[in-house]
Structure 1
Amino acid sequence: MIADDELAALVRPDSVNKRVYTDPAIFALEMERIYGRAWIYVGHDSQVPNTGDYHTTRLGDQDVVMVRAADGAVKVLYNRCPHKGAKLVSEGDGCAGKFFRCPYHAWTFKLDGTHLGAPMRDGFEGTAYDPTNPQFSMAPVARVDSYRGFVFASQSAEGPSLRDFLGGVASSIDNLCDRSPVGEVEVVGGVFRVLQESNWKVFYENLHDTMHARVTHESSFRAARDEAAAIGEMPFELLIQDGNGEPYTFWEKLELRAYRGGHGYMEGIFDPGAATRDPVARAHFECLSEAVGEERAREVLGMNRHNTILYGSGSPHNVFQQFRVIRPLAVDRTLIEIQLFRCKGAPDAVFDRALTYANLINSPSSNVMPDDVELYRRCQQGNNTRGGEWVSLHRYAGTDRMLPDGAVSTNGTSELPMRNQFAAWREYMLADVPGEAAHAAA
């Protein structure tokens, strides 16, 4: 066991020790103290629309299943049969029907996990087997709650409410849903999966790392510009790749906002005024205006956020209706799942555009994602050498402005988001009360 004072010494106000990325013992503690305490995104309730529908995923190192129970409620259960410990359902989505049935010895369970039956019950007479004893049921995760259809679970019976946990980034979920004329979104289609040979925290840091874009993604934005020059226009498919090539002066002007618990958002990099010019965005604006009025439609579509961080869960993207779910597998293995959402009632072209964005920017075969994956891998490899002990977070350290609802950067190239994430990491790893992560030091 790593002592608390040893853990505390790994995080400084302007740097962190490389062990936080490379030490398997620290990773094991993270699964217990972060993923065992925080509210973690499980899935969207649209993934389990009917009774018996289920969606499998992980809470840290724990396999769980989200299911629509007979009473219509969404439950989250550990994916384990209490008899021999077998996983009850395989990975992915499906329908259990009226009950779960273990494929090993046919023990059955109600959709809320309660023990239903076992074959040849006579063999249990005179033993401690008791179908009413929770020991013989599927175990539920301690707490489950949802926010506008987004289902979260916490393995701790104590801690802040989901709404308190989300804090200021709840507004990003609100905006994603409010882009629908009926205020609802649904997961549509399959899921992109990217396996990264790197620690889970590297992905969170990169989401708001504005200094890397024009360097790491130089090949893709230059190719986009060359193609645009050849055809004489910059269509959407090229525009979204060209965005990474903006000069440093552009990135310096963006707002970075950090909230307690490691959450935050980055101001959008695409022009929100396109709502009245681009044909797809204009159709979306007109449709939304009919439902909520022009003023409200402009407010909703004008919220310009590129990436939001829900620490421990991943990153929803408002404009292009997706959620990059971040699942740690090992100290040097991370699975990214990209879910796509349809804004109910919005023109089909809005979802088509989101699908195009995901394919060209986030998919395993995109022109952009492989750049990031390669650099994440190099970070993991470099931090396993004897070339140094500390990772720098010095950029604009000490200049962040503290506001009542969070911190904001004085420069869009600041490493405020990384410092904020590690302030939360330190609190989770040391705190007695789950989720009581503090703001990053200004």
Structure 2
Amino acid sequence: MIPSNQDIAALVRGDSVHKSVYTDPVLFQLEMERIYGQAWIYVGHDSQVKNVGDYHTTRLGDQDVIMVRGANKQVNVLYNRCPHKGAKLVADGDGNVGKFFRCPYHAWTFRLDGEHLSAPLKSGFEGTCYDPRHPDFQMVSVARVESYRGFVFASQAAHGPDLKTFLGGVISSIDNLCDRSPVGEVEVAGGVFRVMQRSNWKVFYENLHDTMHARVTHESSFEAARSEASAIGEMPFELLIMDGNGEPYDFWEKLELRAYHNGHGYMEGIFDPAAATRDPVSRAHFQALSEAHGEDRAREILGMNRHNTVIYGSGSPHTVFQQFRVIRPVSVDRTLVEIQTFRLKGAPDEVFDRALTYANVINSPSSNVMPDDVEVYARCQEGNLTRGGDWISMHRYAGSDTELPDGAVSTNGTSELPMRNQFAAWKHFMTATLIAKESTHAA
């Protein structure tokens, strides 16, 4: 039975949520319709489809879609379905289809914008209602597609706020990622990592700004980094980025957590940007930016120090280390995470090499850090299936957040403001006909 809006709203309190939001398959299906069927969702970067006919497949919630470069050089987003028998037109992944799509089942063809091109043995359609111009015989485009600085988003809803309005203040993280390039452009490069997690998609978003977990969950990795640094007499970059999780609680308490409407936000960076300018890679990066924009602007760009940004429903850009962790729900207890790494056009090669190192050491399936998170996410999923209690606590510093016109900011870096903000957005999307507007942490 589909729950009423009132029943759904009752699952989210100002300081806690009911465990069924992570475990109920009916709620998951409603999320696919009401969140992923409405919000702007990141599809991919236009550098993944550089040439006419290049395509990249992905998902908008539970819908398989194709991002493709059209004949007019525009990026199209189409549902991955032939209107004849419903076969997926292209296999999952990336490639080039040439000048048109050709179905592998009966060879129906379609232009790169989805327009029906031809079908074999047209004589067989004489006297029928077959009309290649009719919508029933076209590939279907996703309702709305917009791009911001090369980042392509799509919404399955025909109406609603435009992309910039939806992103709000969090758009500044995309700007900073691109501005770190001396020419203001980035491209996906170096391959991607994919990790299938045995947990609900919302757990990952919460953990991105959960500063209380770092020194507990990642104890084994930062202790190993410190032990190795002691043995070799120095703390190289590969160990430093693991050691960062071991900072004491008073360090995390001083960080800023910023929440924006629609569930977005960011966490202040944990690596000192001033200290980073003393290493050779950062100095070379600063020099390249200074030559392009002057030293003051270069300091401003590199001084924006953010660790994880949350674009709710899409994933998490990391501006300093040039990544986008794309978060794709698969089922109520399975989530696919794809880690894309970006090259800053015009920046020294060493800057990209550093980004690849960070991706391998911190985010890869074989790293010493990622498996810690994946394990506790799975334990949360399993624990919430027991009869050991019904409510998930989000009480830390509840009621103390500083309200702002576009969201809120934490008064303490260990606040659970980001989680409360995300569930305010969740409740709004899931009960849109009931609740027109929410504050960032109201019940």
Considering the TM-score relative to the shorter chain, is it more than 0.5? Answer: yes
Matches of 2:425 and 2:108, distance apart in 1: 42
SS of the equivalent of 2:340 reads: strand
Shift of 1:275: 4.3
Deviation at 1:403, TM superposition (A): 1.4
Q: Counterpart amino acid of 1:359? A: N
Structure-2 residue corresponding to 1:295: 296
The correspondence of residues 23-42 of structure 1 with structure 2, limited to 5 A, is: 23-42=24-43
Q: Does 1:383 align with 2:369?
A: no
Contact 2:326/2:338, CA 8 A, preserved across alignment: yes
Q: Determine helix, strand or coil for the equivalent of 2:194.
A: strand
User: Is the 1:14–1:394 contact (alpha carbons within 8 Å) kept by the matching residues of 2?
Assistant: yes
TM-score normalised according to structure 1 size: 0.99
- Cα pair distance change 1:61/1:436, threshold 3 Å: farther
- How do 1:111-150 residues align onto structure 2 when only pairs under 5 Å count? 111-150=112-151
For residues 362-393 of structure 1, what are the alpha-carbon distances to aligned partners after superposition, in whole Å with 9 as ceiling and x for unaligned?
00000000000000000000000000000000
C-alpha displacement of 1:436: 6.2
1:369–1:112 distance in 2 versus 1, CA, 3 Å: same
Deviation at 1:121, TM superposition (A): 0.6
Shift in CA distance, 137/373, structure 1 to aligned 2, threshold 3 Å: same
Matches within 5 A, 1:298-313: 298-313=299-314
Percent identity between the two aligned chains: 78
RMSD: 1.2
- Measured after TM superposition, the shift of residue 134 of structure 1 is 1.3
Pair 1:94 & 2:95 matched: yes
Matched residues, number: 442
From the superposition, tell whether residues 75 and 436 of structure 1 become closer, same or farther in structure 2 (CA, over 3 Å).
farther
On the 8 A contact 2:407/2:439 being kept in 1, the answer is no
In 1, distance between residues paired with 2:236 and 2:276? Answer: 16
SS in 2 for 1:189: strand
Give distance in 2, aligned partners of 1:165 and 1:77: 22
Partner of 2:287: 286
The Cα offsets for residues 192-226 of structure 1, whole Å up to 9 and x where unpaired, read as 00000000000000000000000000000000000
Shift of 1:128: 1.3
Amino acid in structure 1 at the alignment position of 2:7: E
Residue 104 of structure 2 aligns with which residue? Answer: 103
Whether contact under 8 Å (2:190, 2:356) holds in the other structure is no
Q: Distance in 2 between matches of 1:78 and 1:246?
A: 46
Tell whether the 8 Å contact from 2:55 to 2:67 is kept in structure 1 after alignment. yes
Give the secondary-structure state (helix, strand or coil) at the position aligned to 1:190. Answer: strand
Deviations 1:302-323 (A, max 9, x none): 1000000000000000000000
Could you tell me how far apart the structure 1 residues matched to 2:250 and 2:68 are? 48
- Counterpart code for 2:126: E
Deviates more, 1:273-282 or 1:318-327: 273-282
SS in 2 for 1:75: strand
> Aligned AA for 2:315?
G
Structure 2 vs 1, CA of residues 54 and 88 (structure 1 numbering), >3 Å: closer, same or farther?
A: same
Which residues of 2 match residues 52-71 of structure 1 at below 5 A? 52-71=53-72
Q: Determine the C-alpha separation between the residues in 1 that align with 2:347 and 2:71.
A: 31
The aligned residue for residue 344 of structure 2 is 343
Counterpart Cα distance in 2 of 1:433 and 1:37: 16
Mapping of residues 133-212 of structure 1, within 5 Å:
133-212=134-213
Change in 2 beyond 3 A, CA 1:26/1:147:
same
Q: Which residue of 2 aligns with 1:439?
A: 440
Query: After TM superposition, where is structure 1 displaced by more than 3 Å over at least 4 residues in a row?
Result: 432-438
Structure 1 residue 189: Cα displacement: 2.2
Distance 1:278 1:106 in 2: 57
Q: Which moved more, 1:427-436 or 1:85-94?
A: 427-436
Do the aligned partners of 1:165 and 1:435 also contact (CA within 8 Å) in 2? Answer: no
Q: 1:116 to 1:308 in 2, by over 3 A?
A: same
Given the alignment of the two structures, is residue 392 of structure 1 paired with residue 393 of structure 2, yes or no? yes
- Identify the residue that residue 317 of structure 1 maps to in structure 2: 318
- For each residue in 1:136-170, what CA deviation from the matched residue of structure 2 results, as whole angstroms up to 9, or x when unmatched? 01100000001100000000001100000000000
Unaligned runs of 5+ residues in structure 2 are none
The structural deviation recorded for 1:440 is 2.5
Match of 2:407 in 1: 406
Matching residue's letter, 2:37: G
CA apart distance, 1:276: 2.6
